[in-house]
Amino acid sequence: MKIVACYSNKGGVGKTATSVNLAYSCAMDGYRVLLCDLDPQGASGFYFRVKPSRKLKKQAFFKDVDCFTGAIRASDFENLDLLPANMSYRDFDIFLSRMKNSRSRLKKALKSVKNDYDVLILDCPPNISLLSENVFRVSDRIVVPVIPTTLSERTLEQLFGFFREKKYQKNKLLPFFSMVQRSKKLHNETMVRLKKKYRKFLQKSIPFSTDIEKMGLHREPVLSYAERSAAAKAYRKLWREIRREMDL
């Protein structure tokens, strides 16, 4: 089972939209996919019209295998299951800080489903925490949405700096540009500069698009209700790049 995290230490950059569309795209390719929502806002579950389990709370996520697997829900799409988040996830760092091997507990929890899925996609909350360190350790690749602006550039530098400091594998990080507006000079200049600085930048970028914003109305991936749109085509090409990076 390959694990792909969609992560950024900055909020509002398109992590959940990316997670949902990558999971859908992966399932379209015939892989068995589990989308695991780690963000207490639970937006992935909302997009798929799936309600979270009331039993999967507090330490149960990390300690109770039956409760963990029992909380997995089927989506309306073939090959695609979902583990929706609930508000108790906001206390994950408190639970983890009280456990032994607090930086590898997520790996242990996910081990229970490794024979059931080909690809597991993690939709991560926007912070650097014990949970995110678990994500950094367990993931095969970490895709990082970056809006081509000064503030996003700064948070990307912070993320690479954290990886250097903690000696995590920097080659796991796969940044890509998100919410790109080619009409803006700042976006174009920032993209040129960052691609020179970070060689692992994925080639495909995701445009700013009203089709993506409408995911909240349709409550399904943009690839499902607007498959011919520029945004949907961009997500498909982005997934293909990621798939090649993982030799899938």
Give, in order, the Cα–Cα distances in Å from 142 to each of 139, 219, 222. Answer: 7, 25, 22
Average pLDDT over residues 57-84: 91
Token pair, residue 135, equals 């994500």
| DSSP tag of 55 | S
Average pLDDT over residues 184-206: 95
* Burial of 97: CB neighbours in 10 Å, binned 0-12, 13-18, 19+: exposed
Q: For tokens 């903690």, name the residue.
A: 166
Those residues with Cβ within 8 angstroms of residue 55's Cβ, 6 or more apart along the chain or in another chain: 67, 70, 71
Alpha-carbon span 235 to 228, nearest angstrom: 11
Q: Is the pLDDT of residue 179 over 90?
A: yes
Picking from 102-106, 112-116, 197-201, 202-206, which range would have the lowest pLDDT averaged per residue?
102-106
Average pLDDT over residues 43-57: 89
What pLDDT, on a 0 to 100 scale, did the predictor assign at position 57? 77
Picking from 10-24, 76-90, 93-107, 165-179, which range would have the lowest pLDDT averaged per residue?
93-107
CA 211 from chain center: how many Å? 19
Q: Is the pLDDT of residue 56 over 80?
A: yes
Q: Is the pLDDT of residue 187 over 80?
A: yes
Closest CA to 8 of 146, 138, 193: 146
Closest CA to 135 of 92, 85, 80, 177: 92
Report the chain's terminal Cα–Cα distance, integer Å: 10
What pLDDT, on a 0 to 100 scale, did the predictor assign at position 38? 95
